[in-house]
């Protein structure tokens, strides 16, 4: 990566009405616009009460993307371990990575949305157990990809007994992303297991402290922090004029009621907001802080005019 490069990928909330037609349009927009990737969330239902909205299954949609795109990287951001057994997840990831020629990144997390677990009858343990399961799940996935010998793993959750997972991914393993900012457990799991640390909802001022804590965990487990890629997921509102920015902000608020309702709130939260020039300036700041890849979170994933604006007036500055 050169001094001026910064990877920019599109990130969509798949539970907010994703259909096959829309997913295919997004893939084309990412490829033709020059973005480095297309990632999606992994939820079972719309999170704000409209359970009638379509939600394409995450892994089925990624299987299509493996052959429906040519060059972009892609993956889930992130798969809750409460949804999956890690051995099954490792098999799915390997198969789709092979199908795509090695373009999959696997994001995993502890799971956080209690309502969707209750809706579908999925167990939602206390936070401590969810974090324990994330540790054990990441360890199991890593173990299954580490070599050609059968693996036995004695741990509280997801034990392996003489297990092999074949075929293995294109390069032997799939890059593992762990998302989160919890200082005691999540960042320690990143230090032990992850190829990439992804975080969201941090400001310029907050990020360096979290990074220092990750570096401390790396030292504790005798790992070079430079071997962990840093990525940042951030909501984005962009427009050529104040009126255009305001209209997109209002639309985002209607779709995702938890986002701020004014420009000051967006900026205070560390979100990207403003003209292409303002977006470029903020992205350059994130790059200076050590971020290597930014997931541009499109609240309105049907706003292809915004995607085109980013492609034309933001991406070229980071190539």
Q: What is the DSSP letter of 169?
A: P
3-class DSSP state of 232: strand
The verdict on whether 216 is a catalytic residue reads no
Q: Tokens at residue 194, please?
A: 């992850």
Residue 197 token pair: 């640390």
Alpha-carbon span 9 to 191, nearest angstrom: 24
DSSP bridge partners of 73: 37
- Dist CA 214 CA 202 (whole Å): 15
From 7, 31, 43, 278, the catalytic residue: 43
Q: What DSSP letter does each residue of 86-136 carry, written as one string?
A: HHHHHHHHHHHHHHHTS-B-EEEE----HHHHHHTT-----HHHHHHHHHH
Backbone angles phi, psi at 124, to 5 degrees: -130, 85
Q: H-helix or E-strand containing 62? A: helix 58-68
What is the rounded CA–CA span in Å between residue 266 and residue 261?
A: 8
Which position among 32, 85, 114, 285 bears the catalytic label? 114
**Token digits for 168?**
């293995």
Other beta carbons less than 10 A from residue 132's beta carbon:
18
In contact, 214 and 203? CB cutoff 8 Å: no
How many C-beta atoms surround the C-beta of residue 147 within 10 A?
Answer: 11
d(CA 179, CA 172): 22
> In the annotation, is 285 catalytic?
no
Instruction: Please list the active-site residues.
Output: 43, 114
């Amino acid at each position: 990566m050169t001094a001026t490069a910064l990877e920019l990928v599109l990130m969509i909330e798949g539970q907010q009405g994703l259909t096959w037609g829309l997913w295919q349009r997004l893939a084309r927009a990412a490829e033709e616009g020059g973005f480095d990737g297309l990632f999606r969330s992994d939820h079972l239902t719309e999170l704000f009460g409209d359970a009638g909205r379509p939600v394409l299954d995450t892994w089925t949609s990624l299987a299509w993307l493996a052959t429906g795109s040519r060059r972009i990287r892609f993956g889930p951001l992130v798969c809750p371990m409460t949804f999956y057994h890690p051995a099954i997840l490792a098999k799915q990831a390997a198969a789709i990575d092979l199908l795509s020629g090695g373009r999959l990144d696997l994001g995993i997390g502890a799971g956080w949305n209690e309502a969707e677990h209750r809706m579908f009858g999925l167990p939602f343990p206390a936070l401590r157990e969810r974090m324990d399961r994330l540790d054990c799940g990441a360890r199991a996935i890593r173990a299954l990809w580490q070599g050609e010998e059968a693996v036995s793993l004695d741990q509280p959750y997801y034990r392996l007994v003489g297990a092999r997972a074949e075929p293995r991914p294109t390069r032997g393993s799939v890059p593992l992303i762990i998302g989160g900012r919890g200082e005691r457990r999540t960042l320690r799991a990143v230090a032990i297991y992850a190829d990439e640390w992804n975080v969201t909802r941090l400001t310029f001022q907050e990020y360096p402290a979290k990074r220092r804590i990750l570096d401390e965990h790396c030292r504790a487990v005798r790992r070079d922090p430079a071997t962990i890629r840093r990525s940042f997921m951030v909501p984005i509102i962009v427009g050529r004029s104040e009126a255009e920015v305001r209209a997109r902000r209002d639309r985002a608020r209607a779709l995702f009621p938890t986002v701020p309702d004014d420009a000051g709130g967006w900026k205070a939260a560390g979100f990207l907001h403003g003209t292409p020039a303002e977006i470029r300036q903020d992205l350059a700041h994130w790059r200076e802080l050590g971020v290597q890849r930014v997931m541009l979170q499109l609240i309105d994933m049907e706003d292809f005019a915004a995607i085109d604006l980013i492609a034309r007036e933001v991406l070229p500055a980071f190539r």
